[in-house]
Amino acid sequence: MPFVTQSDDCRIFYRAEGPTDAPAIIFSNSLGCDHLMWQAQAEALKHRFRVVRYDQRGHGASDVPDGVYPLERLGADVVGIADHLGLQAFHFCGLSMGGLTGQWLGINAGGRLTTLTLADTSPHFRPPEMWDERMDLIRQGGMAAISDMVLGRFFTESFHQSDPGTVSDFRNVLEQMNPTGYLGCSAMLKQADTFNDLKKITTPTLIVSGRHDQSTPPERGEMIAAEIAGSVHVVLDAAHISNAERPNDFTRTLAGFLGTDTLPSDHRFTSGMKRRRAALGDDYVDASIRNRTEFNAEFQDMITRGAWGEIWTRPGLDETTRRMLVLAICASLSRWEEFDLHLAAALRTGVSRDTVREVLMQTAIYAGVPAANTAFARAGKQLKSEA
């Protein structure tokens, strides 16, 4: 498991996905959650960004030190992860306590930030008496003593009814959390207040609020937006964990702010993308996604749904037959770029040179010797490089 050992010897767990040469974005979790809360965003963005998720200290797989966890320590943990990964600059997105961590970064380490997204957060989490009551409940009854109350704030009642599986996942993370970690963060949240320094943030900033958020209502987002020059405030139809309750809306909002778009999430597209990766390989598909633009996005989506999600997923032909048909048709029509692509993919998956030879011999008879001649030459180069 990948860890970064911080200056105080606390090990912070992280997960990095996506191209190592792509722009990086670091996601920071809310109190009582872990890095998995960002699963939907990671899946949508990891083809264009180096997506880094981590467990705040006291959470998930990270170490659980005793005592209070100062806000500056949480911010330094992020800088430590970035330094470990060689990220001089990065986008940052944090929710609730993760958003407070982002505020600290914007104030104290703004030179490292490309953009800053502050979701469902606040410059302070008052009143302090609320935290005293919550911490007393945990000391007396463990994490289960607060789970109903916390989950009631995390999500709207309608979401509890419509997606009990997601709610259950968050409940499990919360109830399995080490109480020491929750108490250490709660003691910090009881006293933290960044309001007077928010004007120091000059990083382009997106603020996201949940319309039904009881913990950090939209008024808190407006408060932050009023202090950060040029910031954008968006309100989603969700409660506190808006990225999980409204994952598509949240991800589209974030991606738009980052200057990119997201991939569709309908079944036909996702099944087509899975088939496309199996046929052509991750490297090719990832490169194609990185070349996706507003101009060609609809065309790429059509190909993924139609060719890969509809035709390549049909059960009537076995894998090798389908691949060899593509080679024969591409050679017959002189579609040499596609021929090379599909030949390389076929060879990687174990199609023999004898099978390729027979297909090209058949092509010579029915599509002409010139087409087969070029196909044999191009195939010969690939086979030689494979040897």
Q: Over the stretch 210-263, which tens digit does the pLDDT of each residue have?
A: 999 999 999 999 999 999 999 999 999 999 999 999 999 999 899 989 987 777
- Each residue's pLDDT tens digit, 262-277: 777 788 988 898 899 8
Give the residue with greater pLDDT, 283 vs 146.
Answer: 146
Q: 281 pLDDT band (50/70/90 cuts)?
A: confident
Check residue 69 and give its pLDDT: 97
Does position 24 have pLDDT exceeding 80, yes or no?
yes
Does position 1 have pLDDT exceeding 80, yes or no?
no
Q: In whole angstroms, give the CA distance from residue 324 to residue 142.
A: 61
Does position 23 have pLDDT exceeding 80, yes or no?
yes
Check residue 386 and give its pLDDT: 77
Q: In whole angstroms, give the CA distance from residue 64 to residue 83.
A: 22
Angle at 188 between CA 187 and CA 192, to 5 degrees: 130
The token duo for 196 is: 């007077």
Determine the average pLDDT of the residues in 177-190.
98
Q: Kindly report the length of the chain.
A: 387
Check residue 270 and give its pLDDT: 85
Determine the average pLDDT of the residues in 89-93.
98
List, in order, residues 6 or more apart from 278 with CB less than 8 Å away.
none
Q: In whole angstroms, give the CA distance from residue 257 to residue 240.
A: 20
Check residue 260 and give its pLDDT: 76
Determine the average pLDDT of the residues in 38-45.
95
Q: How many CB atoms lie within 10 A of CB 366?
A: 10
The token duo for 355 is: 């099978």
**What average pLDDT does the chain have?**
95
Percent share of the chain, pLDDT over 90: 87
Q: Using DSSP bridges, classify how beta strands 3-5 and 11-17 pair: parallel, antiparallel or unpaired.
A: antiparallel
* 8 Å CB contact between 167 and 174: no
Range with the poorest average pLDDT among 68-77, 282-291, 310-319, 353-362: 282-291
Whole-prediction pTM: 0.79
- What structural domains and CATH numbers belong to the chain? 3-258 (3.40.50.1820), 267-386 (1.20.1290.10)
